Structures are given as structure tokens and as C-alpha cells.
Structure 1
Amino acid sequence: MTSRYRFFWRRLMHMKFNSKQVYEATLHKTHRNIYLPCTLGFSLLTLMGFEKKLNAQDELILTIKHCILFVQRGEFDKAEQLLHVALKQAQQIHHQEGITYIYDVMANLALEREQYDKAKQLFVAVTQRIMADGATEDDLRVVHISVKLARISHMKREYTTAQLGYDWCIEKLNNALKYDPSEANTKLLAMAEDWYGRLFLDSDKCEIGLSYMKQAYERMKNLVDIEQEHLVIQLNDLGTVCDRLGNVDESIEYYSKAIDIGKNFPDMHDLGAMYVNLGRAYIKKNMLDIARKSCGQGWKLGIKTKNNDVKHEAELCMQEIRAMS
């Protein structure tokens, strides 16, 4: 471990964990975003071996199952309330592994809801617990949490800290893949690369960001346990970055792939926006007939999904086409 990362990590580990403060934090509603498979859907469950114990039909396991179900449905308030019940159950029977897992789910839920300070405290608490049980700083469970801590720093615009964390995590995960090319390790590395790429975008280093995002997509598309909707959004974002860099042909390729897959999910909220993106790319190539058709489809989907933003953008796209005709 480099001295810079050691300082960063130990500073985090000395954070005081106040459970009452964390649990009583004000909650707010956010839309369930496309990164769910990489946050809530990728917790310590599989890494701790706790998954194998989910078959037990005791009260604690059933409560945890219901918590996860609420999370998957996007019913975050219900999940939050039931997680407190599960935590009390685990504490009453001194189920230490269960307590750790519940903290991890709480942390992921807080991250999903953009409650970054709360998520950070909970992730640190989880790390302290697993390290107290013998995990080292190189343990993949610790690396897993470090990726999310880097993400939190990124979202709080602490870019230097975020880059430090991503660099260290990606190095550790690349080394781990040499010995264990499992889907779990590949998924975590892809998540780290995708988030790292977006950090570079936010720092106006789009070419570097695009490189990391492409690597992430290449890993993700070959995974078995990955939601296709996630790949659709990834492809659209790649198209957007290419478009920003002036690589219009490449952006059209990514947008088209995103739409081809997204057509299988007609209720997908963002599909109309992808048609508009594709239409705007065709406008840049002066291919107005194709652009008109694409923006028109985006407008129809905006109406169908009651997405006024997409509808408005499609209308602007059509106006631009008429002005050029």
C-alpha cells in the first residue's frame, strides 16, 4: 500500500461511528437510477459467504429478504424502516455477521439515495467490523468498500481524494483478477473503471474518461449477472462522450446499439432521450431524414412515458431540422 493511500485509509478508519446520528438522518426520495446493479445489487453478501445462509427460514433471514425486496422495488422508505427492525433482531441474538451485512445494505441504500455522509459513516463501520474479524487492507471486501468510498468523495467533489482511492482500488483489482478471474471481481473492477471514467469527465479530461468507460463496458457486456438496462445506459453515455469529443460516427454507433437493446424494454424511461441523442448526431452529419425519424420516435416515447423533458428536447430537435431543410 502506498504511503498516500495508507494516510487516506487510516484517516477514514479513525472516523467516529455514531449509529444514532446515522440512523436518524433526514431521508429524501430519489429516482432509482441505472447504477443499482453496481451499488445495491453488489453488496458484501456474496463476498462474505452470507448468501449461502439465506436459505435459513429464521426470523432474521426472512426480515432481511423483505428488506432486499423493498430495495429492488425502489420502495426505499419501507426498506429503511425494515432494516432497523432487522438490525434490532440481529443485535438481540448477537448475530455479528448479520449486523455487518445489515450495515452494508444500509450503506448501499444511503449511497443510492445520495446521502453521502451517512453512506460514508456506514461503509467505514462495516470496514471496521470486518477488519476487527481479521480482514487486511488488501482484502477484497475492503477494496470493495474503498471503491464506494472513492465514489462518495467523487460525488462530494473531493476529486483528489477520489482519484487516489480509484487508482489504488483498480490496481488491487487488476492484480486480483490474475489469480481469481471471477465474475464478482470483474464486476467490481468494471464498476470502478466506469466511475473513474466519469471522474475524468467531471475534470474535463474526456479522452481519459472515455478510455476507462470503454474498458468498463467491455468487461460488463460479457458478464452473466448484469442487467441489460445497465448496458443500455452505458452505451448511451459512451455515445454522449464521443459526441462531446466530436467523434460523431462513433457516437452514432453507440447510440444505435443502446437503442437496439433498449427496444426490448419499451417502458424504459430514458429510451426516448436516446432517440433524440441519435437524431442530434445525425443532424451534425446533415442526414436530416434519418434525424427527423429518430427525433420523431423520441417525441412519441416522451408522450407515451409522460416524460416532458424528452418531449421538449424532441420538439427542439424537430425545429432545428425544419430550420435546416
Structure 2
Amino acid sequence: MTSRCRLLWRRFLQLKKVNYTVVPRAFTHVPKKISLPCTLGFSLLTLIGLEKKLNAEDELILSIKHCVLFIQRNEYDKAEQLLHVALKQAQQIQHQLGITYIYDVMANLALEREQYDKAKKLFVVVSQRIMADGATEDDLRVIHISVKLARISHMNKEYTTAQLGYDWCLNKLNSAVSINPTEENVKLLAMAEDWYGRLFLECNKDDVGLRYMQSAYEKMTSLSDTEKEHLVIQLNDLGTVCVNIGKIDESIEYFTKAIDLGKQIPDFEDLGVFYVNLGRAYLKKNMIDVARKSCGHGWKLGVLMKNNDVKHEAELCIQEIKNMT
């Protein structure tokens, strides 16, 4: 997995987009640096095919690489401008694979920027181009795009359309994994399950949503290149859902795992998030002393990391404890 892919789609599962305030005073602070496996957020299309047909120093290849570099740096306007230049270059030399790849990068960039209607149109174009080139609906590239189209419907609150899309994709992906359980296939299945689970949360079907999210987490832990940052966010989200449906012991287990794993990440500034959520879970069990210790540690981390959101939430948690004693 390349650093380019890690950086490009690091925010796909951030809490601001997919987690919810599921309990009173639940802490849904957004970690700022979350990386996901490449296939979760980016594309199954790669530069490899282009570089085999063109000189690696070709102007088109360099333009595309500069586009990706701008995206890595969050310089989205510059990336989009250069993508249009690259698209024109590809069209001038009639490089069909290059055109498809650039449209795909444009679509993913639009999705990253929450420009959902634009992203949808571009993903449809990419899908049409791939299928015109011989791909069938069982092609993993087509399914990958279909998952993202379902996600777009989900984010636009078109829940019926989103559910139909997720169901279709999960059926295809489960078949693909049963036949060929590669890490690429399992990653895509895990992404679809996680997003589908979060759709059920929005529809107040927390038990169903939890099952899909748990399944996605288990698959991600089985893969060799899943980053710790991704797993700690999944653990925190699972703990939050468990609190909402009254599974407090399970929530404590998830939050504790998130803390243990978060400690292994150098300079992870959002570790205090998990301590505060753990403290609130302990409050549900009237374990005042343990809750005070956990929220207090979260406050210390907020101060140490100069993270005012964590510090503020920890202070609210501590005030809750005072009100109970």
C-alpha cells in the first residue's frame, strides 16, 4: 500500500461523516489524521497500465502524478485544475485508459469534497467507460464504483436507493470473496459492510447496524496492511453504538481496545477521545471512581496535546461525575 493512497482517502470514515451522537453527551470528536487502506477509498484503477504504455516521464503521467501530489497536500483546487489539464492532454492523444483513470480521480476527489452530485456523474462515466471496454457487472472495478454510488445515495439521505445499492454490492462481494478471498476483495467487502451498518444507524436500526460494523471490523483485523488509526476509529464507533443500545460491558471492551491500540500510535492526538468515552461508559454502570480516573486522564491528554475539544469534553464528563456525587 502506497503512502499516496493512505493520504488520499484518509478521511473516508471520519466521525463527522459517519458516526453519530448516539448517547447524551457522547463525544464524537473528529480525529484529524485517519488513514485507510488504499482500496477502501481510492480506486482499483492504477497508473501501472498507463506507465506500461507510455514513457514514465511522459507529460501525461507527470501531470497525473502532480494531481495526486496536490490531493495529498489537501490542495484540492490546484488538483482539480491540473486534472482538467491532464484530461485535455489524454483526449488530445486519444489515450482511452488515461481518460478513464483521470475521470476516476476526479470522481474520487469530488466525493472527498462532499460534492456528491458531481461525484455521482463522474463515477457513472467511469463505470460506462469500463463496461464499454469489456468489463461485466461482476468486475471488481464495477462493484467498487457501485459501492461508492450507494454511499453517495446514503449521504444524500436517499436511503431506499442506498439500501438497494448496498444489497446488490454485498451479494456480489460475498460471492467474490467466497471464490477468491484476496485482501483486495475482503477490504472492499469490509468497506461496504461498514457503510451499510452506518446507514442502519441513521435509520434507527442500531442492532442491525452494529452487526454489519462488527463484521467489517473483524475483516479489517484479518488483513495484513490495515492501519492502526483505522482500527481505533472503528473500535470507538462500535463502543459508541453499544452504549446506545445498552450493551455497556461490550462498549467498555471496545473503548479499552481503542485505547490500548491508540497508545501504539506515535503522537496520536485524539487518544483522549477514547478515555472520555470510556469514562462515560463507566458512569452508566455507576463506577464513579473508574469513570473519574478515565475522564481525568482524557483531560490531561487534551491539555498535553493542546486539543481543546478533548479538554472541553473531559471537563463536561468530570462535571457529570461531580453532579452524581
Whether the TM-score (by the shorter chain) exceeds 0.5 is yes
Shift of 1:285: 1.8
For residues 297 and 196 of structure 1, what CA distance do their matches in structure 2 show? 34
Shift of 1:322: 1.8
SS of equivalent residue, structure 2 residue 135? coil
Shift of 1:180: 1.4
For residue 152 of structure 1, what is the aligned residue in structure 2?
A: 152
2:45–2:141 Cα contact (<8 Å) kept: no
Shift of 1:79: 2.4
Shift of 1:264: 2.6
For residues 228 and 256 of structure 2, what CA distance do their matches in structure 1 show? 15
The answer to which of 142-151 and 221-230 deviates more is 221-230
For residues 38 and 204 of structure 1, what CA distance do their matches in structure 2 show? 30
- 1:125 equivalent to 2:136? Answer no
For residue 90 of structure 1, what is the aligned residue in structure 2?
A: 90
For residue 135 of structure 2, what is the aligned residue in structure 1?
A: 135
- 1:261 equivalent to 2:300? Answer no
SS of equivalent residue, structure 2 residue 255? helix
For residue 176 of structure 1, what is the aligned residue in structure 2?
A: 176
For residue 210 of structure 1, what is the aligned residue in structure 2?
A: 210
For residue 229 of structure 1, what is the aligned residue in structure 2?
A: 229
For residues 31 and 99 of structure 1, what CA distance do their matches in structure 2 show? 35
One-letter identity of the residue aligned with 1:243: V
For residues 79 and 306 of structure 2, what CA distance do their matches in structure 1 show? 27
Kindly report which structure 2 residues correspond to 1:17-166, keeping only aligned pairs within 5 A, or say none: 34=34, 36-37=36-37, 41-46=41-46, 50=49, 53=52, 56-166=56-166
For residue 20 of structure 1, what is the aligned residue in structure 2?
A: none
Shift of 1:75: 3.1
For residue 10 of structure 1, what is the aligned residue in structure 2?
A: none
CA displacement 1:171-217 (0-9 Å, x = unmatched): 00010112211111111000000000000000000000000000000
1:299–1:315 Cα contact (<8 Å) kept: yes
One-letter identity of the residue aligned with 2:250: E
> What count of residue pairs does the alignment treat as equivalent?
295
Shift of 1:143: 0.9
For residues 262 and 58 of structure 2, what CA distance do their matches in structure 1 show? 40
SS of equivalent residue, structure 2 residue 90? helix
Distance 1:126 1:31, change over 3 A: farther
Q: Percent of counterpart pairs with the same letter?
A: 75
The answer to which of 100-109 and 200-209 deviates more is 100-109
For residue 198 of structure 2, what is the aligned residue in structure 1?
A: 198
Shift of 1:61: 1.9
SS of equivalent residue, structure 1 residue 45? coil
For residues 101 and 309 of structure 1, what CA distance do their matches in structure 2 show? 39
For residues 65 and 226 of structure 2, what CA distance do their matches in structure 1 show? 20
Distance 1:261 1:55, change over 3 A: farther
Distance 1:76 1:169, change over 3 A: same
2:39–2:188 Cα contact (<8 Å) kept: no
1:106–1:122 Cα contact (<8 Å) kept: yes
Distance 1:188 1:164, change over 3 A: same
Shift of 1:108: 1.0
The answer to which of 66-75 and 160-169 deviates more is 66-75
| Alignment TM-score, normalising by the size of structure 1 | 0.83
For residues 61 and 275 of structure 2, what CA distance do their matches in structure 1 show? 44
One-letter identity of the residue aligned with 1:64: I
Distance 1:40 1:193, change over 3 A: closer
For residues 147 and 50 of structure 2, what CA distance do their matches in structure 1 show? 21
Distance 1:163 1:40, change over 3 A: closer
